[in-house]
Chain A
Amino acid sequence: DIQMTQSPSTLSASVGDRVTITCRASQSISSWLAWYQQKAGKAPKLLIYEASSLESGVPSRFSGSVSGTEFTLTISSLQPDDSATYYCQQCNSYPLTFGGGTKVEIK
């Protein structure tokens, strides 16, 4: 199985800060990686697909990038509405696997 190691597990930042979350795959997954945002008690919401493509309707402050097997989700200017848990997911091979999640808190 492909392991997705996500870091940090929690982070606290101020409104307007640039925030970066990293996800490392245990083997090559090409660019078959997605990022999701989940708020408490709600279903996940797709933010980024194929490592760097922004889902329709998602604010442009969210972006994704890849270097080898390391994937990054960046929020360019953190907003109060961004308080949530973020998950990466590899879509390359079965079983599909998720990272452990990053909880983002607003200071």
Chain B
Amino acid sequence: EVQLVESGGGLVQPGGSLRLSCAGSGFTFSDHYVDWVRQAPGKGLEWVGRTRKKTNSYTTEYVASVKGRFTISRDDSKNSLYLQMNSLKTEDTAVYYCARAGGRYSAFDIWGQGTMVTVSS
């Protein structure tokens, strides 16, 4: 079965850090883009960022609101994607999903179940 499974969510204080993981299975992880998308409580979907494949030197793209605070990385040998979140703000509170895209212009055809991150004192 093709699936993505996120982990690492939890409660963190403003200014703190958290690292999320996304494990892929049932497909060739290294052949796909796998992005992070978040959804604040009761709100819509927001794309967070992407790390490209090895053939594109694992370069990254981010939404402006997280640039300089969040870092996306991947370990294809472990079929895993990571999101290192630093200097967390209350507005980062959301369910964080990882989602698979087949290519540069592809839609997200597989989504994980999401992991909740709550930033609060």
Question: A residues engaging B (CB < 8 A)?
Answer: 1, 32, 34, 36, 38, 43-46, 49-50, 55, 87, 89, 91-92, 94-101
B56 to chain A, nearest CB (A): 13
Residues facing A in B1-58 (CB within 8 A) are 35, 44-47, 50
Residues facing A in B106-121 (CB within 8 A) are 106-109, 111-114
A49 vs B62: C-alpha distance in the bound complex, in angstroms? 22
A9 to chain B, nearest CB (A): 10
Q: Are A98 and B45 in contact (CB under 8 A)?
A: yes
**Interface of A, helix, strand, loop or mixed by DSSP:** loop
Q: Are A97 and B108 in contact (CB under 8 A)?
A: no
A43 and B64 contact, Cβ closer than 8 Å, known pairs A89-B107, A92-B105, A96-B47: no
Interfacial chain B residues near A38, Cβ < 8 Å? 45
B95 to chain A, nearest CB (A): 9
A45 vs B100: C-alpha distance in the bound complex, in angstroms? 12
A94 vs B57: C-alpha distance in the bound complex, in angstroms? 17
A94 to chain B, nearest CB (A): 5
B75 interface residue (CB < 8 Å to A): no
**In-complex Cβ contact of B111 among A1, A45, A50, A92 (8 A):** A45
- Using A43-B113, A91-B106 as known contacts, list a sample of 6 further A-B pairs with CB atoms less than 8 Å apart, ordered by residue number in A: A43-B97, A44-B97, A45-B111, A91-B105, A96-B35, A101-B44
